[in-house]
Every structure is written in C-alpha cells, then in structure tokens.
C-alpha cells in the first residue's frame, strides 16, 4: 500500500524522519545538523540511552526510544560503551531538558552534537513503535536543519535506495585496527572504574572485536582474566600467537552471515584447536554459523532491557538486555549443539552450548545489568573453566 501524502511541514519543524515508503514524520531537531540513512528500530529501555547510542551493535541504525523522557540525566564520560557513538541518531517523544543528575558533565543535546549524531523530538514514538511491530523495521532517513529546509523527495529516494542491513558486514568496518590490552574493571559510585593490574597470573582471554562493548571487557577483568583485544580480521595464526587460554567472541552490528564470511573459518580453526570459547550476541550467531547452523533476519528484532530468558537446565528466568535484529534458526542446529536458553517473548534461541567442544554463547547481553545482575555468572563460568587460577 502506498504511503499517504506527506503532511505539510508544521511551523517550527527543524527535523524530519522520512521512511522508504514515503511516510514523513516531522519534529524538532537536536544534536548535530545533517542527514543520515539507516534502519529504523526501537528500544524499550527506560534508562541507559548513552550506553545504547554508543553500543557498536547499533551501527547503521536510527533508534526510536519508547520511553518518553530521554536525555533528562544528561551525559558523561563513564556511561559509554565505545570510543565514539555508532547509532546514526535517535527519535524521542519529549524535548531534551536540562540535565538533572550529579553525574552529568554536559547536556545530552551538546553530547549528540559533539559526536555528529542527529536527534528528532516531538514524535509520537508510540505510533512509530506500533508501526515497526506491525510492518517490521523500515529503512529511513533522519535529517536536522535549523532553518527547516528539507528536500523530501531526495530524502525519500535516499531511504528507498539504502540496501538494508542484510548482507552488510559492518563488524570489520568498526572493529579495532590493532591489538590492545584491557585492565579496567567494574564501576562503583565511590571509586569509578577499578583498574586491575593484579591479573597477570590469571587466564589469558583473547577477545575478538566485532563491535565490542566496553562493559564486556570490564566483566571479564572482574572475573579474573587477563584480556587482549584483537581486530575482527585477525587470523587464526595472529590469535594463537598470543597463547590464549580462552577466546571471547564479541557482539557487533550487521548481518552475521556476511561477517561470517571471514570470521567463521577462523572460529572453526579455533574450535578445532580445542580452545574454550564464549560468545555474546553477534559472537553467539557466529559460533552457531561455525557449526553449520543458519541465521535469519527478525521481523522487528529484540532491543531493550526487560527481556525474560529461560534457562532450560533449571527453568530459572533471567531478566536480560537484548539488542539484535538477527537470530539463530534453532531448527538448523547440529546434533552437537544444544539450546541452553530461550526467549520467553517469542521462543527464539537465546543461548547454546556445544557438546563436543568447550564453547557456549548467549544471544543477550549479560554485562548490561538491566536492574538485576542475573547473568553475570556467565563471565565467572567462562573464566573459571579456563583451567588456570585467576
């Protein structure tokens, strides 16, 4: 069905979201001026907007926040998950207000502007979210111009011409370009991030960066590991030269099958060497691809901090944070891979374990601590199983 004629530009509109089907949504701009094209998704988390926008897994995406009050606690240098934000921009309901938090060091509007990220406020995010749930995540263009000058026809052509995330290998684009060590632990109100230089005798974890969140590295350190990060394009020989006791496969953006074209052969060799392995999100999908399973694009994806996951071994439920638009097709798992966790929202696979290799993975983010810390045990399980005293 063709989109309805574009509504006339309201007085004072300085931003617009144009979808591939020609739908036009007006609002007030904040953050940087400019134009960005990507997939429009939604996130249901009530807090953590800085962590979300700086999560590398959101590369190529425009985030609709379902919680209406975004930006109200400002921004700081602690609550970021990568050196720079990766989401293209965000769509919010209420205007950005002055920061109301003792931890804030700058206004959210200023932070978005400094990083070149585009925001639009004044949008009926409930209606947009319902549209995405019904029709799937559309391609769209977000644009901000302080004088309200927009070429809607050109913007719609950009949205319609964008190829979408399927087939995109974004991990190799945003990954680290060289090896580096990590010794920063978890954050506390009293002391900030703890530096742990005492893990020199702990098991050595080599983390492959497909779009790594920093808090994953902090949890590995807190569990007692020595951590070295390597780029997404690191070879089997590069990794084994570091003498790893364990391999971590990180989260990341894009189509896992596209990233798998270079990642899967390396992971298969690592599995063949018997090196223990733990994967999160994209890393979970790449592990599954490495043993012959397939991944598929989801209708709307899972993005938020309130996702219940059931552990199949004991029936307990974890409240988790999720951010993925692809999933592993459970029906394609080989006999040597067993499901360990499922989503209670839709029954999709949320965790697996290999029965013939020391490797396991989860589709959610155990480092994100969405209120409770239900899933931190996974880091302890991984590091404790590496066979060396931490």
Placement of tokens 């960066």 in the chain: 209
> Can you tell me whether residue 84 is helix, strand or coil?
coil
Give me the pLDDT at residue 389, please: 37
pLDDT of 139-181, one tens digit each?
A: 999 999 999 999 999 999 999 999 999 999 999 999 999 999 9
Same domain, 323 and 208: yes
pLDDT band of residue 200 (cuts 50, 70, 90) is confident
Could you give the number of structural domains in the chain? 2
Same domain, 149 and 223: no
Other Cβ atoms closer than 10 A to 22: 18
**Pairing state of beta strands 359-362 and 349-354?**
antiparallel
How far apart CA 95 and CA 298 sit, in angstroms, is: 31
Same domain, 102 and 246: no
Percent of the chain topping pLDDT 90: 91
Burial class (CB in 10 A: 0-12, 13-18, 19+), 350: buried
How far apart CA 374 and CA 377 sit, in angstroms, is: 7
Same domain, 145 and 217: no
Q: Which structure tokens are listed for 142?
A: 């977000």
Domain carrying residue 145: 15-161
User: What is the pLDDT averaged over residues 64-69?
Assistant: 97
Does 307 qualify as catalytic in the annotation? no
Does 144 qualify as catalytic in the annotation? no
Given 81, 318, 353, 367, the catalytic residue: 367
pLDDT of 37-64, one tens digit each?
A: 999 999 999 999 999 999 999 999 999 9
Give me the pLDDT at residue 188, please: 87
Same domain, 49 and 21: yes
How far apart CA 135 and CA 191 sit, in angstroms, is: 46
Give the end of a domain, one of 98, 132, 161: 161
Question: Would you say residue 133 lies in a domain?
Answer: yes
In angstroms, what CA-CA distances link 314 with 114, 196, 279, 306, 341? 47, 34, 21, 21, 10
pTM score of the predicted model: 0.95
Give the end of a domain, one of 113, 138, 161: 161
Task: Please name the residues in contact with 292: beta carbons below 8 A apart, sequence gap of 6 or more.
Answer: 332, 334
Question: Would you say residue 149 lies in a domain?
Answer: yes
Same domain, 292 and 273: yes
Q: Please answer whether residues 172 and 262 qualify as being in contact, where contact means their C-beta atoms are separated by less than 8 angstroms.
A: yes
Residue 1 in this model has a pLDDT that exceeds 80: no
Question: Would you say residue 285 lies in a domain?
Answer: yes
Placement of tokens 């499901």 in the chain: 339
Q: Within 13 Å, how many C-alpha atoms sit on residue 180's CB side?
A: 12
What CATH number did the domain enclosing 48 receive? 3.50.30.20
Q: Please answer whether residues 226 and 197 qualify as being in contact, where contact means their C-beta atoms are separated by less than 8 angstroms.
A: no
Question: Would you say residue 389 lies in a domain?
Answer: no
Question: Would you say residue 9 lies in a domain?
Answer: no
Give the end of a domain, one of 161, 195, 213: 161
Residue 278 in this model has a pLDDT that exceeds 80: yes
Helices (H), 247-290: 256-272, 282-290
Does 376 qualify as catalytic in the annotation? no
pLDDT of 234-275, one tens digit each?
A: 999 999 999 999 999 999 999 999 999 999 999 999 999 999
Same domain, 190 and 234: yes
User: What is the pLDDT averaged over residues 121-129?
Assistant: 98
Q: Please answer whether residues 188 and 194 qualify as being in contact, where contact means their C-beta atoms are separated by less than 8 angstroms.
A: yes
Same domain, 140 and 175: no
Given 281, 307, 318, 341, the catalytic residue: 281
Give me the pLDDT at residue 4, please: 63
Task: Go through the chain and tell me how many residues it has.
Answer: 390
How far, in whole angstroms, is CA 223 from its chain's centroid? 22
Question: Would you say residue 77 lies in a domain?
Answer: yes
Phi, psi of 104, rounded to the nearest 5 degrees: -75, 140
SS3 content of the chain, % helix, strand, coil (to 5): 25, 30, 45
How far apart CA 204 and CA 226 sit, in angstroms, is: 5
Closest CA to 322 of 57, 118, 27: 57
**Pairing state of beta strands 180-182 and 226-231?**
antiparallel
Question: Would you say residue 41 lies in a domain?
Answer: yes
Same domain, 60 and 122: yes
Question: Would you say residue 349 lies in a domain?
Answer: yes
Task: Please name the residues in contact with 18: beta carbons below 8 A apart, sequence gap of 6 or more.
Answer: 24, 25, 140, 141, 143, 152, 155, 156, 158, 159
Same domain, 123 and 238: no
Task: Please name the residues in contact with 300: beta carbons below 8 A apart, sequence gap of 6 or more.
Answer: 41, 42, 132, 133, 136, 137
Given 144, 284, 341, 365, the catalytic residue: 365
What CATH number did the domain enclosing 379 receive? 3.40.50.880
């Amino acid at each position: 069905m063709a989109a309805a004629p574009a509504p006339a530009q309201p007085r004072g509109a300085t931003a617009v979201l144009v979808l591939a089907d020609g739908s036009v949504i007006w609002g007030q701009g904040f953050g940087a001026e400019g134009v960005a094209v990507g997939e429009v998704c939604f996130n249901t988390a009530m807090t953590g907007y800085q962590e979300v926008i700086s999560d590398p897994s959101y590369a190529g995406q425009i985030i609709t926040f379902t919680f209406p009050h975004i930006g109200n606690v400002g921004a700081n240098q602690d609550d970021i998950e990568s050196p720079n934000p990766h989401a293209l921009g965000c769509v919010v309901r209420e205007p950005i207000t002055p920061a109301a938090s003792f931890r804030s060091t700058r206004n959210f509007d200023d932070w978005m502007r400094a990083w070149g990220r585009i925001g639009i406020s004044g949008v009926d995010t409930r209606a947009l979210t319902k549209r995405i749930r019904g029709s799937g995540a559309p391609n769209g263009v977000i644009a901000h111009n302080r004088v309200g000058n927009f070429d809607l026809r050109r913007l719609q052509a950009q949205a319609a011409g964008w190829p979408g995330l399927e087939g995109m290998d974004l991990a190799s684009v945003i990954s680290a370009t060289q090896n580096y060590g990590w010794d920063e632990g978890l954050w506390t109100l009293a002391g900030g991030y703890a530096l742990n230089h005492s893990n020199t005798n702990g098991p050595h974890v080599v983390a492959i960066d497909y779009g790594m969140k920093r808090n994953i590295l902090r949890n590995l350190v807190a569990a007692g590991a020595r951590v070295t990060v390597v780029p997404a394009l690191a070879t089997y020989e590069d990794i084994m030269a570091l003498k790893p006791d364990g391999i971590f496969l990180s989260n990341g953006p894009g189509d896992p099958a596209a990233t798998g074209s270079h990642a899967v052969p390396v992971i298969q060799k690592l599995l063949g060497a018997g090196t223990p392995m733990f994967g999160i999100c994209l890393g979970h999908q790449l592990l599954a691809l490495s043993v012959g399973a397939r991944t598929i694009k989801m209708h709307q994806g899972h993005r938020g901090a309130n996702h219940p996951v059931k552990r199949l071994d004991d029936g307990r439920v974890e409240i988790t944070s999720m951010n993925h638009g692809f999933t592993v097709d459970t029906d394609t798992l080989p006999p040597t891979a067993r499901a360990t966790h499922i989503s209670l929202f839709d029954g999709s696979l949320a965790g697996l374990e290999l029965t013939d290799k020391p490797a396991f993975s989860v589709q959610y983010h155990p480092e994100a601590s969405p209120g409770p810390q239900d899933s931190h045990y996974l880091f302890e399980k991984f590091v404790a199983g590496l066979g060396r005293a931490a």
